[in-house]
Structure 1
């Protein structure tokens, strides 16, 4: 019976006046195992179609996810793998139909606790106005924040000068291979690690001469996002700040906080950029 689900779905559109086939499909979906659950399969197919610039029926996909029953967890994991992860990466191309499907399906996975908040917020920050609904899913209240220095800065030997509260000193940022946007994003001219992770990063204040960007590094489930060097797991790397480097303080405040940040990378856009000061406002 489970194998006949897709055929039943094609004969039972949401707009049909006869609701009996749709009721049968709902019953099937609530009973079929994840591997052959017609509702789970329908959502996976919609994700694949959207990733290939197709236009799947959003309401149909939403209905299927809401009725996926025992397949809900696996289907939300598929949403994370095919849509949330790519949407949280700097430099990744995410097709508009896939973003629209992500905005449609994410609330159900969030409501049922099947979508990791750090990953969702990373995608919301990276996509910004391309997928504004993602930011509305962050419902956590405000936390008390303060400037928090990184535990392990790596890069130029004088990296500490970016945190010495002296606006006259600074650190020259060498161009890194990942600065082109085509690298792994695992490093930058200056990498700022937190151990343990920075629970919240709410804003960034930059004083620099010359343009560049900041990327956050947030751990991701196995197979989602980019593979870390040396088998260190997977991560996503949303761009959280672009600074022009005018020699004046610039403030970047993402629409939602970044959660569980492992590290931040500072990447110059051209040679000769000097980072005078960087303040990372957050909470441990």
Structure 2
């Protein structure tokens, strides 16, 4: 019976006046195992179609996810792997069709606790106005925050000068080498549970990326097989020599590191404050 699900779905569109086939499909989805669950399969197909720039029916995909029953967890994992993860990394723009589908499906996964908040918030920050609905799903409350110095700076030996509260001193940022993701990497151990803003004083343009922990198979693999992360761009600074403040639309959660990337040679990072909580 489970194998007949897709055929039943094609004969039972949501708009049909006869809702008996749809009721049968709902019953099947509630009982079929994840591997052959027609609703779970429908969600995966919709994600694949959207990634190919096709336009899967959003209402149909949402219905399938809501009725996925035992396949709900696996379907939300697919959403994380195929859509939310790619939306949370710095890189090529995610297809608009995939973002639209993400906005349609994410609420169900959030409400059922099947979509990790750090990943969701990272995607909301990276996409910003391209997928504004994602920010409305933020469930993180407010906590007391303060500037937190990094535990493990990696890069120029005088990196500490960017955190010495002396606006006259600074660190010259080398251009990132091929194979590395930053001129300066600021690691936190333990990770920052909550980051709300970044304050930068620099003499040239650049950007900051947060390294946020992600589920296995989502985003980038950590070197040495230490799990996975996504790296949303959280700040673009002009480098006027004055303080610039970047405040993401939602807090970033589970931040292991912040990377500083200059846009051209000769940029000096005078001061950087990362405001958050452990």
Q: What TM-score do the two structures reach when normalised by structure 2?
A: 0.98
Structure 1 residues 139 and 231: CA distance shift in structure 2, 3 A: closer
Q: Give 1:1-284 correspondences, 5 Å limit.
A: 1-177=1-177, 187-284=181-278
| 1:23-47: CA deviation from partner (whole Å, max 9, x where unpaired) | 0000000000000000000000000
- Please state how far the C-alpha of 1:177 moved relative to its aligned partner: 3.1
**Runs of 4+ in structure 1 over 6 Å off:** none
Worse-superposed segment, 11-20 or 137-146: 137-146
Return the offset for 1:266: 0.3
- Distance in 1, Cα, partners of 2:38 & 2:137: 27
TM-aligned CA deviation for residue 85 of structure 1: 0.5
Equivalent position SS for 1:15:
coil
Distance, in Å, in 2 between the alignment partners of 1:63 and 1:100 is 15
Gaps of 5+ in 1: none
Q: Distance in 1 between matches of 2:30 and 2:146?
A: 47
CA contact (8 A) 2:117 2:139 kept: no
Q: Deviations over 1:65-114 (max 9, x none)?
A: 00000000000000000001100000133100000000000000000000
Give unpaired runs (5+ residues) of structure 2. Answer: none
Matched residue SS, 1:133: helix
CA apart distance, 1:219? 1.4
State the alpha-carbon separation in 2 of the partners of residues 134 and 231 from structure 1: 29
The alpha carbon displacement at 1:222 in A equals 1.4
**Cα RMSD after superposing both structures:** 0.9
SS of 1:266's equivalent in the other structure is strand
SS at match of 1:129: helix
CA-to-partner distance for each residue in 1:192-218, whole Å, 9 max, x for gaps?
000000010100000000000000001
1:141 to partner: Cα distance: 2.0
Q: 1:234: how far off?
A: 1.1
Cα distance in 2 for residues equivalent to 1:79 and 1:265: 27
